[in-house]
């Protein structure tokens, strides 16, 4: 797996503002969306293009168009939804595949409760969205599900990751590329990333 930490000043500045403990729901939500846009710009830099001739103001002109079936965006419920509009601002034609997975409290196994994957998945690059890559359990289950469905190219876009989660995903899926704003220090005993952002879902949705 290759991990791309995007060190652009705008990305790092916005992440720094998100870490402030008294940030409002409005600001947190807006910044999650802005960071999603900036990280998507990086994550899509190898999309293939093909030349096309269009009629411009001064006659015909050759332009570049993104080739083939393009992208499906896969927000992991619930917090991944906070990045969806930012990504769709950048890739308005992307199909959205929704996967809902929760962890059984007794067995700790991931349980799929909702799956709706875009058609022609084998021809699309999947861009998984989640603000936090913590233990990696949900991400692993999502990647497994996409691969079972026939998806051949998968990337993940996150704001912050824990080294433990990254390592787990790297071992199981070395072909998946990860784009993020920061690899933080570690997980705490409750599975939260330190220093992290706290509960990103609660902060995006204004719950708790
Ligand atoms: N999910 C969150 O929202 N925050 C963490 O730190 C870990 C998982």
Please, what is the average pLDDT of the chain?
95
Pocket test for ligand 1, best of 28, 79, 132, 188 (most atoms within 8 A of CB): 132
Please indicate whether residue 143, judged by its CB atom, sits closer than 6 Å to ligand 1.
no
Q: What is the DSSP string of 11-70?
A: HHHHHHHHT-TT--HHHHHHHHHHHHHHHHHHHTTT--EEEEEEEETTEEEEEEEE-TT-
User: Tens digits of per-residue pLDDT, 22-34?
Assistant: 999 999 999 999 9
Report the C-alpha gap between 87 and 38 in whole angstroms.
9
Centroid of ligand 1 to alpha carbon of 183 (angstroms):
13
Q: Which atom of ligand 1 is nearest to the CA of 194?
A: 6
Please indicate whether residue 205, judged by its CB atom, sits closer than 6 Å to ligand 1.
no
pLDDT at 153 over 70: yes
Predicted local confidence at residue 105, as pLDDT:
75
pTM for this predicted structure? 0.95
* pLDDT category of residue 70 using cuts at 50, 70 and 90: confident
Q: Is 78 annotated as ligand-binding? A: yes
pLDDT at 82 over 80: yes
Report the C-alpha gap between 108 and 59 in whole angstroms.
62
Centroid of ligand 1 to alpha carbon of 132 (angstroms):
5
Task: Collect all residues with Cβ–Cβ distance below 8 Å to 154 and sequence separation of at least 6.
Answer: 125, 126, 128, 143, 146, 147, 173, 175, 176, 177
Report the C-alpha gap between 29 and 32 in whole angstroms.
5
User: Tens digits of per-residue pLDDT, 31-54?
Assistant: 999 999 999 999 999 999 999 999
Write out the two tokens for 111. Answer: 């349980």
User: Tens digits of per-residue pLDDT, 96-136?
Assistant: 999 998 877 777 678 899 999 999 999 999 999 999 999 99
Q: Which atom of ligand 1 is nearest to the CA of 191?
A: 7
Cα→Cα distances 36→121, 127, 129, 134, Å: 22, 11, 9, 18
CATH number of 3-205: 3.40.50.2020
Residue extents of the structural domains in the chain: 3-205
Report the C-alpha gap between 194 and 201 in whole angstroms.
16
DSSP 188: -
Give me the helix-helix angle, 137-148 and 163-172, nearest 10°. 20
Report the C-alpha gap between 119 and 101 in whole angstroms.
20
How would you classify the pairing of strands 132-133 and 49-56?
Answer: unpaired
Query: What's the whole-number mean pLDDT along residues 54-60?
Result: 98
Predicted local confidence at residue 29, as pLDDT:
98
Per the CB < 8 A criterion, the answer to whether 62 and 55 are in contact is no
In the chain, pLDDT over 90 holds for what percent of residues?
91
Query: What's the whole-number mean pLDDT along residues 180-186?
Result: 98
Report the C-alpha gap between 91 and 37 in whole angstroms.
9
* pLDDT category of residue 1 using cuts at 50, 70 and 90: low
- Could you give the angle at the alpha carbon of 110 between the alpha carbons of 109 and 114, nearest 5°? 150
In the chain, pLDDT over 70 holds for what percent of residues?
99
Query: What's the whole-number mean pLDDT along residues 2-6?
Result: 96
Query: What's the whole-number mean pLDDT along residues 78-98?
Result: 96
ipTM > 0.85 (yes/no) = yes
Query: What's the whole-number mean pLDDT along residues 156-182?
Result: 97
Question: Active-site residue numbers?
Answer: 103, 107, 199, 202
Predicted local confidence at residue 110, as pLDDT:
82
């Amino acid at each position: 797996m290759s991990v791309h930490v995007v060190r652009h000043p705008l990305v790092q500045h916005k992440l720094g503002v998100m870490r402030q403990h008294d940030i409002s729901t409005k600001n947190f939500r807006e910044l999650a969306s802005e960071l999603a846009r900036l990280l998507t710009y990086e994550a899509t830099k190898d999309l293939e293009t093909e030349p096309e001739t269009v009629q411009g103001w001064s006659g015909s002109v050759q332009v570049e168009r993104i080739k083939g079936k393009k992208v499906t965006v896969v927000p992991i419920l619930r917090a991944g939804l906070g990045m969806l509009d930012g990504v769709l601002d950048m890739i308005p034609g992307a199909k959205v595949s929704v996967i809902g997975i929760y962890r059984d409290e007794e067995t700790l196994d991931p349980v799929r409760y909702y799956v709706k994957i875009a058609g022609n998945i084998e021809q699309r690059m999947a861009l998984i969205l989640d603000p936090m890559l913590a233990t990696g359990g949900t991400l692993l289950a999502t990647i497994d599900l996409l691969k079972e469905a026939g998806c051949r190219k998968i990337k993940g876009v996150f704001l912050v990751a824990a080294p433990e989660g990254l390592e787990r995903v790297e071992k199981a899926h070395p072909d998946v590329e990860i784009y993020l704003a920061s690899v933080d220090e570690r997980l705490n005993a409750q599975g939260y990333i330190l220093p992290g952002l706290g509960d990103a879902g609660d902060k995006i949705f204004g719950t708790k």
